[in-house]
Amino acid sequence: MVVTAQQIWEHTPGEAWIYLVILTSIYILYILKNYIRCVIHVSRLNGPKAVPIIGNVNIALEENFLYRLANESKIYGRFVKVWVTILPYVVLLEPEDIQLVLGSTKHTRKVFFYKLLDNFLGKGLITRDMETWRVHRKILQPAFHLHILEKFTNIFAEHADSLMKKFLEKKDQEINITTFINDSVYNILSETVLGINQRTSKMDDLPFRKGQIMLLYRMMRPWLLMEWIYRLTKYGREEQKQRNELFDTCFKMMKEKRELLRNKKCEPDDQTEETRKMSLLEYMVEINEKHPCFSDKDIVEECCTFMLAGQDSVGTATAMTLFLLANNPEWQEKCIEELDRIFDGNPKLPTINDLKDMKCLEMCIKESLRLYPSVPIIARKLGEDVKIGKYVIPTGCSVLISPYATHRLPHHFPDPEAFKPERFDTENSEKRHPYAHIPFSAGPRNCIGYKFAMLEMKSMICAILRRCRLQSVPGKEVIRPKFRMTIRAQGGLWVKVIVRDETPKNVVI
C-alpha cells in the first residue's frame, strides 16, 4: 500500500511541521556556515566592546580610532576584532601578517562595502569583482609603464608651472594650500585621463567634482545597506543622478575621442608617436579595438575611477608633503639644494630623468605618506584559511588593514610621530619589512597608478620649491587629520609663501 505525502500531512500535521522546520534550519545553517565559522573564530580574539546591531561602527568613526589601533596593539595583540554592524572583521597590524593577505593572489577579493562605492567611483579596478579585475588589470597595466608615463611628464610639468605661478602671486601671504593643490591635480587628471586641456577647454560643467561618498552614512544606518531601500531615499536618488551624469559625460567624450582617432588615421599629422600627447581615454579606446571584451561600458567605468580616485589621494599627499616641509625647514633646504643641483639655474621643465633623480624629495614624500597615507583603510575577503600563530582566520572572513596604524608601530618606525625622511634612504629601507610601508597598498592588487602619482607629486612640489620657500604659520603648525575614505586635514594646511629670488642670502630659514 502506497502512502502519499498528502495522507501523511493529514494524519500527522505536527510531525510534518517539525520536518519542515528541521529541513529549513539545515538549509539556513548551510547557507550561513561560513558566516557562523567566522563568528566563532573571530569571537576568540580581543577587541573593543561592540554595540548590538551597530557593532563598532560608532568607535570607528571617532577621529582618533586609527591612532588608537597603533597604540593599543599592545593591549589587544597583533590583530584586533571589530564588528561592522553584524559582520565580524579582523584588523591586521603587523607587516608579516599583512603580507600573508595582500601578498597572495588567493585574497584579492574586495569586501562587500566596496560595492557601496560603485555609484561614486564606478565599477573600475578599485571595486571590480576578482575575475573582471584580473582581465582589466592585465589590459591596463602597460599604460602605467614608465615609457608611457614619460609622455605625461610634460603635462605634469606644465600644470605644475601654472600652480607655481599662483603661489608666486601670494608671496608674503599666509595661504591654505589645499585648494590650490586640488585644483592643479584636477587639471592634470582632466588632461591625462580625458585629454581635456583646461587652458583651451571649458571644464566648469564637468561632473567629476560634484559627488560625495555616502559609504559611512550608510554604515551608520544598516537598513540603507540594502540597495533597493537606499535607492528610495533622497541621497540614493541624488547619487544615482550623479552617476548618470558621470556616465553620460564619459560616453560623450569616448565617442568624440574615437571619432578623432579615426580622422587621424585618415589624415595623419606631423606628430610622432614620441611627441604627441596621449590620454588614458585615448589609450583605452585603442585597446577596445584590439580587445573587444574591454567594452565601451568598461572604458567609461575605468575613466570614472581614474578621475575620482586620483583627486583626493594625490591632492592630500602633495599638500601634506608641502606643509611638512614648511614645518621642517632643514629638510626643505635639502630638497631645494637637490633641485638646484639638478637644474643648475636652467628654467627648463623637468624630464622624467630629472624627476627620478629627486631622491631627497622622494624620501620626504614617502615619509609624508607614512604619517598621513591618503587611504587609511584597506579591506580584503580571505579566499582560504590564514593561520597566524595559534589563531586561524577562516575562509570568507573580512580583514581590515590600516596603513595609518601600521605606519605608526614604533618597533618598525621609532619615534613614529616625528617627520624623519631619512627612514627612506637606501640603507634604512633595505632593513625594513617591505609591508611596513604600504601607502599604495601592496601585492597583486596594489594601486596601478602609484608611479603616475609619484611623478605627479614630484612635478608639483619641485615646481614650487624651485621658486619659493614655504614657512610655517604660527598657531597652525599641527595637522588635524580627518578620516573618511581618504585622509583630509581639518581646517586646511596653512603656509607662508616666500619668493626665493627675494630671500637674502644671509637669512636662515
What is the number of alpha carbons within 13 Å of residue 377 lying toward its C-beta?
22
User: Of 333, 302, 353, which Cα lies nearest the Cα of 455?
Assistant: 353
User: Of 239, 182, 255, 160, which Cα lies nearest the Cα of 207?
Assistant: 239
Distance CA 120, CA 193 (A): 17
Could you tell me if residue 233 is inside a domain? yes
Can you read off the three cell numbers belonging to residue 387? 593561520
Q: How far is CA 417 from the centre of its chain?
A: 22
- On whether the CB atoms of residues 117 and 127 are closer than 8 A, the answer is yes
Pairing outcome for strands 398-401 and 87-92: parallel
CB burial string 241-255: b at 16+ within 10 A, e below: ebbebbbebbeebbe
What pLDDT score does 506 carry? Answer: 41
CB burial string 334-348: b at 16+ within 10 A, e below: bbbebbeebeeeeee
Can you read off the three cell numbers belonging to residue 28? 539556513
pLDDT 10s digit of each residue in the chain, 509 long?
555 555 555 556 666 667 666 766 665 655 567 888 888 888 888 888 888 877 777 776 666 677 777 776 777 878 888 888 788 889 999 999 999 999 998 887 877 777 777 666 667 667 677 778 888 888 888 888 888 888 899 999 999 999 999 999 999 999 999 999 999 999 999 999 988 876 555 555 677 777 677 777 777 777 887 888 888 899 888 888 888 888 888 888 888 888 887 777 666 655 555 555 678 999 899 888 888 888 888 888 888 888 888 888 899 999 999 999 999 999 999 999 999 999 998 999 999 999 999 999 999 999 999 999 998 888 898 989 999 888 889 998 989 999 999 999 999 999 999 999 999 999 999 999 999 999 999 998 888 889 999 999 999 999 999 999 999 999 999 998 887 778 889 899 999 999 987 544 444 44
Predicted model pTM: 0.87
What pLDDT score does 31 carry? Answer: 59
Q: Which structural domain range is residue 98 located in?
A: 45-266+273-499
Length of the chain: 509
Distance CA 76, CA 66 (A): 14
- On whether the CB atoms of residues 323 and 316 are closer than 8 A, the answer is no
What is the number of alpha carbons within 13 Å of residue 58 lying toward its C-beta?
8
For 135, counting Cβ atoms within 10 Å of its Cβ (0-12 exposed, 13-18 middle, 19+ buried), the class is middle
Sole residue written with cell 539545515: 26
Distance CA 305, CA 397 (A): 26
Residue type, 368: S
Could you tell me if residue 28 is inside a domain? no
- On whether the CB atoms of residues 421 and 331 are closer than 8 A, the answer is yes
Distance CA 380, CA 82 (A): 14
User: Of 328, 337, 319, which Cα lies nearest the Cα of 472?
Assistant: 328
Can you read off the three cell numbers belonging to residue 227? 540597495
Contacts of 356 (CB under 8 A, 6+ apart): none
What pLDDT score does 275 carry? Answer: 52
Distance CA 107, CA 99 (A): 11
- Provide the annotated binding site: 447
Contacts of 470 (CB under 8 A, 6+ apart): 322, 325, 326, 332, 464, 495, 496, 497, 498
What pLDDT score does 203 carry? Answer: 57
Cα–Cα distances (Å) from 32 to 26, 90, 115, 193, 225, in that order, read 10, 19, 21, 43, 19
Contacts of 441 (CB under 8 A, 6+ apart): 102, 375, 378, 447
Could you tell me if residue 300 is inside a domain? yes
Could you tell me if residue 224 is inside a domain? yes
Pairing outcome for strands 79-84 and 87-92: antiparallel
Contacts of 211 (CB under 8 A, 6+ apart): 120, 239, 242, 246, 308
- On whether the CB atoms of residues 162 and 188 are closer than 8 A, the answer is no
What pLDDT score does 266 carry? Answer: 67
Distance CA 348, CA 37 (A): 62
Could you tell me if residue 389 is inside a domain? yes
User: Of 128, 79, 131, 125, which Cα lies nearest the Cα of 100?
Assistant: 79
Domain with residue 291: its CATH number is 1.10.630.10
- On whether the CB atoms of residues 322 and 494 are closer than 8 A, the answer is no
Could you tell me if residue 14 is inside a domain? no
DSSP H helices in 384-431: 403-406, 426-431
Residue type, 426: T
Cα-based torsion angle of the residue sequence 411, 417, 419, 422 in order, rounded to the nearest 10 degrees: 0
Contacts of 406 (CB under 8 A, 6+ apart): 70, 93, 94, 95, 98, 412, 436, 438
Kind and range of the H or E element at 88? strand 87-92
Contacts of 203 (CB under 8 A, 6+ apart): 187, 190, 196
Number of domains in the chain: 1
Could you tell me if residue 479 is inside a domain? yes
- Provide the annotated binding site for heme: 447
- On whether the CB atoms of residues 408 and 70 are closer than 8 A, the answer is yes
Could you tell me if residue 355 is inside a domain? yes
